[in-house]
A and B are shown apart, each in its own frame.
Chain A
Amino acid sequence: MENVLQVILVGILVGGLYGLVALGFALINGVMRFINIAQGSFIVLGGFICYWIVTLLHIDPYLAIPMVMAAMFIVGIILYRSLFSPLLKYPKAEMRLDKSLLLTFGVVWMLDNLEILFWTSNSRSIITSYGFGTVQVLGAALSYTGLIGLGLAVLAAAVLHIVLTRTYFGKHVRAATEDAGAASLSGVNVQRTYLISTGIAVALAGLAGTVIVTSYSVTPGGGISWLLTAMVVVTLAGPGNMNFMIPAGIILGVIQSASTLFVNPAYQQPIALIIFLLIIMFRPQGLFSKGVKGL
């Protein structure tokens, strides 16, 4: 019984991270209808940048978050300016989707090899003094880093929700998502909302990378498995359903974690992909979607 509880709680912690991993991917996919294959690689890059800052400045990794996110925001701006904005000359969203897929696939190769060039192909993780500490919750041992990760994920999702629903910028993003043409006729600078959304999405990858490098480790070329996680979570939540990314991540985390009670833990990724296929086959609009497109 205790074992079951431990497995579920661990699943919730890792699931929060899954939700965080999916947030940035879902934002770009929802707003621009682009598929950013490189989101996983950006997460790894964020982890490496965090590792770098912590090694150079000897500060706590969580204090490095603003710096990591700011750096990744700039990476996002460069990504938009160099690769995304030229795609907007295609008048229909469907025509941009496959091209964004190919372009960002190229970014994956570029980032993976740059990371090897800068940091060698070894995996890196940040070990803090409290990294091995645990809290006892109902008899289950939960790591500090896992709890902080869940907290950051929920915080990021909540802030994003508030930005999208309460601020001018957020309303412009949602308007551009629903009808980019009508938004620009209403005076919304659609290109600017796209630019900043991309920056935010890549900054969120930086946050996810920080959580990963403190709880687990980052490896050049490891981005693709985080991408798969993001895709499974977005499919579970329903595309564009930003409010349900964290719950969907937790569902995936708990299922994966619970599966270790029955099968070898090595099968966690195949299990995620089986869930992905089942959702695509039987509920393509996602678990939480009412069928309305939007953010």
Chain B
Amino acid sequence: MILTLIGVFSYALQMKLGILHTTGLSEEVAWGIYIANFAFLIGIAAAAVMLVVPAYIFSHQEIKQVVMVGEAMAVAACIMAVMFILASLGRPDRLWHILPMIGRLNVPRSMLAWDVVVINSYLLINIIMLFYILYRNYQGKEPHYRLYFVGVVIAICLAISIHTVTAFLFSSNVSRPYWHSAILGPRFLASAFTSGPALIILTLQIIAAFTAYPVKSRVIETLAVIMTITLQVNMFLLGAEMYTEFYSQTKHASSIQYLFFGLHGYSALVPWIWTSIVLNVISVIILSLHPLRRNRRLLNTACIMAITGIWMEKGMGLVIPGFIPTPLGDIVEYIPTHYEIGVSMGIWGLGAIIFTLIVKVVISIQLGELKA
């Protein structure tokens, strides 16, 4: 709710400007903090599924109660992701060109076209599920299990799709050796299934603190275990990637060289990525040791560290080095401008507003304050 205020304030900033020539982007670095945030938010959108799977596949009763929070987060994250894409478009006014039938969507060849399809489908299915469950609860009934199950299965498939397709969006480019790696898809899934639950853990505690909404500690524990495993996998995959690149030291390793150690005297991202690595390592240590993880304060610290670390690694750390050096070997660095940061804050703020509004409705319906 405080977030909302910040959101409104920074959204005003976004209203002020948002034009491309106010960005730090260049011919050399065509994507920056917007696409970085997009890639990260696609991960957060997994939140819904991380709650839905244990709740309905394994009939985990306690988690069922907080599924709606995950759905709300998925909806907000998807909307934010789409907004970040819009912010980076040169001609957002021509968006109708991607509409099927009216426009010309380049399916099946373009990965970006596929991403449009899966992200919007995922957004749609989450909105439908959210409204359906809320409507049934509003009437004081349980949702129909069969209808629900179909929705859940579709949502799970789409959740995996949005991560793999977004990863393929990057990895399909032969021109960018840094991304051109089969491990990128699995890395996306691993980090998404870390940052999603981490954000949910924090959010649930905030909700529990400010409202009467029941949040059982077993829910938090289940999420913490999921997050522990995925973060371990994530670190392992990152290590595998680094090994392959650094052991052979080909020219294709130039970008990762730039990211971790700098290249030809350019090293803007070096402190950035090492901060991320340190955060992730501390987080994975806390999470992996049972007594530490069961300490709520330490768990929260680990969550914040993991979210920040992954935002740095899967955002700027993933997008920017793909452009450095350029396919013709030129090095131009990128630093976001205050306009770009303002717009990004605006979108995050708006996402927070959307999330807060949905959750408020969810809570009042589920607590029985709002009834048919």
A pairs with B: no
Residue ranges of B at the interface with A (Cβ–Cβ < 8 Å): none
